[in-house]
Structure 1
Amino acid sequence: MTFTRRLATFAMASAAALAMTLPATAQQTRQGLSSDSVIETIKENGVIKIGLSIFRPWSMRNLDGDLVGFELDVGRELAKDMGVEVEFVPTSWDGIIPALVSGKFDVIISGMSITPQRNLTVAFSDPYAYSGMTILANRAMTEGFTLEDYNSPDVTFAARRGATPVAVIQSMFPEAQLLMFDEDGASTQEVLNGNAHATMASEPTPSEEARRYSDTLYVPFDETFQAGGEAFAFRKGDPDAENYFNNWIGVKTRTGWLKERHDYWFRGDDWKDDVAE
């Protein structure tokens, strides 16, 4: 056998071996990606753990102490469609992303808006809800203010620590003072007590508080700010989870389920008598 024929025979054998190896390698890769997916972990454990932070009407407690709200409806529907149980893990807002990354729960479903800064640490699904923020102000302290008047060292804002309004306030009103609290309710209370001129929050909270305390509070501008999408947040490097969550949100959007649930909690009053203040 000449050297050329031997070389050709070796090349053909190598090609055949490579052809046999490629399918096995591809299958191993698929299996590896699947085993690393939080979706597979959820299916294996039979439960999805959802991190959330308490704020109306996304998530709150009713008079019996049970968790209710838009996020609870979303989480329970997601679990039902996955054929698993659901466990909600209430977590402070400023610690919710670190808790996700450390594995304390599988996904955040808590009205979290998509931002580039958060995207450096976590991955996001497609939006499942859209909302905007409005200013809620103390009437006596701000009557006659223009939007520009709020950007002053003499003006104090209050906001929930780590939440999107903090960044919006700092961006829109960099000259103003900012007090931060762990709960939305504390921020509103500061404005109600006259310790802060205003706060910002996602609707419908500002409009609800303005109706509730109409003598003291009001929404000074018929305008929403930084309207954007809220999405599921999950650990990075999980294309299987991204695919499943996006497909689920797409189905629930097309069928109108998400809109119906969102309208119930954000536009209706039927639930309010059953919820603790």
Structure 2
Amino acid sequence: MRKFLPWGLMSLLAALVCWPAWAADQALWEKSTLHQILKRGELRVGLEAGYMPFEMRDKKGEIIGFDVDLARLMAKTMGVKLTLVNTQWDGIIPALLTDKFDLLMGGMTITAERNLKVNFTDPYITIGQSVLLNRRLAGTVTVYGQLDDPRYTIATKLGTTGDIAARRFMPKARIKNFETEAEATMEVRSGRADAFVYDLPYNIVYAAQFPDALVHLKEPFTREALGWAVRKGDPDFLNWLNNFLRQIRDDGVYDALYRKWFESTAWLANVSG
């Protein structure tokens, strides 16, 4: 004859078995970035102002752009305030890892090398590298491959995928690194460099500002997915960010912001020169 344990005792045993897993999940949640953001009442986003149209300064000195609008929407959805942390690009991943901010939203290309240090969300936009030429080369250089020549000097921004692409596809050219996009593009406008290799959206906007000095080879020669970066070991935050991205795409908000920043240049009138 089988003997059965009382129902109350069975429930207690089941609870004791499940307790370690529940406690572990609770501890993981309390350590998560998302929990800390909600507890603090503040979302801190790291970026580098100067990457049009993702993030740049307006004439009042405020940081605006596609990423900034997404960050504001994100903070509003969380019910917290937004703080933008302007950070030099070559130190932006270390700043994330040392908790200077919660989320990196600086238009960063997802690469295997970077993924060793941080985790990325699903891609939120796909771009490619293109070339800005000094106008004196109009008609002489018509495709990026022609720049693979010792006669040419190519300006790049240090630590970017544009720098990597220039060295990979134009190894015979002379490469000059600069800390900012402004320095590199000025080098081309002044004629001290022949070309600038950088992200397509930025180059489109910049070429429209200086049509008398620059020619844009609009066909991108790489394909790159951009993602938001978070610290490793934080599945709750990563899950929330991916669901947020999926929701704003489904409800049309993402498309509206894309049209505002990538299909119109009306905002240029408000950008500091």
Of 266, 269, 272, the residue aligned with 1:273 is 269
The worse-fitting range, judged by mean Cα deviation, of 156-165 and 75-84 is 156-165
For the pair 1:126 / 2:87, whether they are aligned, the reply is: no
Question: Aligned ranges for residues 4-153 of structure 1 at < 5 Å?
Answer: 19-54=14-49, 55-141=51-137, 143-145=139-141, 146-153=143-150
Would the aligned equivalents of 2:54 and 2:106 in 1 still touch at CA under 8 Å?
yes
> Partner of 1:196 in structure 2?
193
Q: Helix, strand or coil: the match of 1:108?
A: strand
Q: CA deviation at 1:88?
A: 0.3
Q: 1:53-78, CA deviations, whole angstroms, 9 ceiling, x for partnerless residues?
A: 11211111111111111111011100
Identify unmatched segments of 5+ residues in structure 1.
1-14
AA in 1 matched with 2:66: F
Q: 1:178 is matched with which residue? A: 175
CA shift, 1:176, in A, is: 1.7
Query: What does residue 249 of structure 2 align with?
Result: 253
Does the 8 A contact of 2:156 with 2:162 survive in 1? yes
Higher gyration radius (CA): 1
State the TM-score, normalized to the length of structure 2. 0.90
How far residue 208 of structure 1 moved from its aligned partner, in angstroms, is 3.0
| Amino acid across the alignment from 2:37 | I
**What is the number of residues matched between the two proteins?**
262
% identity of equivalent residues: 33
Q: Which residue of 2 aligns with 1:216?
A: 213
- Paired residues of 1:128 and 1:253 also in contact (CA < 8 A): no
Unaligned runs of 5+ in 2: 1-9
Query: What do the CA deviations read for 1:204-248 (whole angstroms, capped 9, x no partner)?
Result: 33233333333331023x411222221110001111111000000
Match of 2:3 in 1: none
Conserved 8 A contact 1:107-1:232: yes
Note the C-alpha offset of 1:17: 9.2
Deviation at 1:274, TM superposition (A): 1.3
Deviation sequence 1:78-100 (CA, Å, 0-9, x none): 00000111100000111100000
Q: Any idea what SS the aligned residue of 2:122 has?
A: strand
CA distance in 1, matches of 2:165, 2:94: 22
Q: TM-score, normalised by structure 1?
A: 0.89
Q: Which string of whole-angstrom CA distances, capped at 9 and with x for unpartnered residues, describes residues 113-172 of structure 1?
A: 111111010000011222222110112146423433211222211111112211111111
Give 1:79's aligned amino acid: A
Determine whether 1:154 maps to 2:151. Answer: yes
Residue type of the partner of 2:117? T
Aligned partners of 1:157 and 1:179 also within 8 Å: yes
Q: Equivalents in 2 of 1:44, 1:251: separation in Å?
A: 23
